[in-house]
Structure formats: structure tokens, C-alpha cells
Amino acid sequence: MARHDIHLLSVLIATISVVALASENCHYTISVKTGSRHDSGTDAVIGIVLADRSGKYIEIKNLPGWYAAYVDVKTTKTGTPSKYQHFTVEQWLANSEPPYLLYAERDNCPSVIKKSPYSIQTCTYTINIQTGTRADSGTDAIIGIVLADQSEEYIEIKDLVSWGGKMPEGHDYFENGNLDIFSGTERCLPGPVCFMRLNSDNSGYKPGWYVVYVDVTTSKPGSVSKHQRFTVEQWLAVDEPPNQLYAERSNCPV
């Protein structure tokens, strides 16, 4: 497939997608501009998640090296003016190019959104991560995590250490054989956590990281704590199989 064909296909797939949000149907017109850098195009299957500031979202799974310049989203609903949003991306989605991620997130939501403290229930999430003991298993990379329930509602923590590292001061996280503990508050998910995605930004010296398992405990006042273990046994590295900087595990009912 020629490179100009790839670009056109990316736009056509997104333009004809019609998605239901809540009880109303909207038509989403999504224009994706691929960059003009060398090898910017891709034959990969590209997906997109769109969300409003309340956290409600839709996911289009079929819209890894691809350089994206920007994404335009137009939302149309019968009887109301169309709404338009432009997201500047200017990023590689590739394991071989910085920031070594297969996704790009951009947020145009207002930076300060005041909500009643009673409008959203908060839960305490305690996350234990066991690093392996193989040679060079440890990492100095920034590690993030996504936790989701069966309905695909999710929370994302982009930097576990700064979010809620609970080890003694001066502790070196994610080193060989470590069992690291993190804890913090986030909004409660509608259901119990059953999906986990670990992400590495591949930074630092020898950033490859071998993970044995992740334990997640969710606590809410007045409720019994819920625990989920995700067996990982995988490298998050570009130079070790499966040669990717993320690990996804699902214990959700099929």
C-alpha cells in the first residue's frame, strides 16, 4: 500500500464512524493528519478514545511506527450546533522512537474543574509491584498504570512513584527483586478492578524492566476491600521479547 493511500484510509475510517454515547446517537467526524517525517506512515490498526471532562468516554478500536501531527474531532447531534476540537499531537506512536509509546494522549479540558466533594466517590488504591531477579531486571524509567473494571471505566496513574510511593525516603524503586508499594486516592470505578496495563517511558540507563506480578487492593469506607493479582512475567523493553513498553493483563469475566 502506498504511503498516500495509508493517509487517506486513516481519514476515511474515522470519518464514517458513528458511535452511541449514553442514550443518544452522535456522528463523530475525525480527521487524522499523519506527519511528513521519514517513515511516518503505518499499516497498523489505529484506535482512538474520546472523553469529556466528566470522564465519560467512547472507544473506537479500529480507526506500531506512526508519526501523528494532529487529530480533529467534530461531534454532530441532530438539533444542536456541531462541536469541534483540535488536538495537536506531534508524536511518534512507536517502540523505536521517543517517547517509545504506542499511544498518544492529549487533553484540552479546562485545567481547573471545581466539583462538589460529594459528587464523586473516592477509593484508596494500593498497588504492590514485584520486579524480577533476572539480570538487568530493574529500571529507572517512569512507570505508569491503567486500572479498569469490566465496563471499561478506568483510571490512569502516569507516574506511580510521584503519585503514591510508600517506600522509605531514598528508596530506589523498580530495582532487581524489589517489592514496591504505592497507595493513593482516585475516583471509584463502578465495578471491581479486573484489567491492568503497565506503561514504561523507556527513560534512564538500561530502561528495560522485568515484572513478575502486580497486586491491586481497592478500599472504600463502609465496603469490604477488593483484591486482584495480575501475573505479568514479562519484560517491558524494546530489546527483549515481546519488544514492547507495556503489559496488559485482564482477569475480567469473559
Residue 196 near residue 150 (C-beta atoms within 8 A): no
Cα–Cα distance measured from residue 241 to residue 32, given in angstroms and rounded to the nearest whole number: 31
Residue type, 68: A
Could you tell me which of 128, 143, 136 has the C-alpha nearest to residue 199?
143
Cα–Cα distance measured from residue 90 to residue 225, given in angstroms and rounded to the nearest whole number: 42
Could you tell me which of 90, 74, 70 has the C-alpha nearest to residue 10?
70
Beta bridge partners of 167: none
Summarised one tens digit per residue, pLDDT across range 241-251 is 999 999 999 99
Whether residue 18 has pLDDT greater than 60? no
Ramachandran quadrant class, 89 (left: phi over 0; alpha: psi -120 to 50; beta: rest): alpha
Using DSSP's 3-state secondary structure scheme, residue 112 falls into coil
200 band by pLDDT with thresholds 50, 70 and 90: very high
The x, y and z cell numbers of residue 227, run together, are 483484591
Could you tell me which of 143, 172, 170 has the C-alpha nearest to residue 159?
143
* Chain mean pLDDT for the chain: 82
Summarised one tens digit per residue, pLDDT across range 117-158 is 444 688 999 999 999 999 999 999 999 999 999 998 999 999
* Farthest CA pair distance, the chain: 62
> What pLDDT is attached to residue 2?
37
Residue 198 near residue 210 (C-beta atoms within 8 A): no
CA distances from 66 to 22, 138, 153, 221 (A): 32, 29, 27, 45
Q: How large a percentage of the chain has pLDDT more than 90?
A: 50
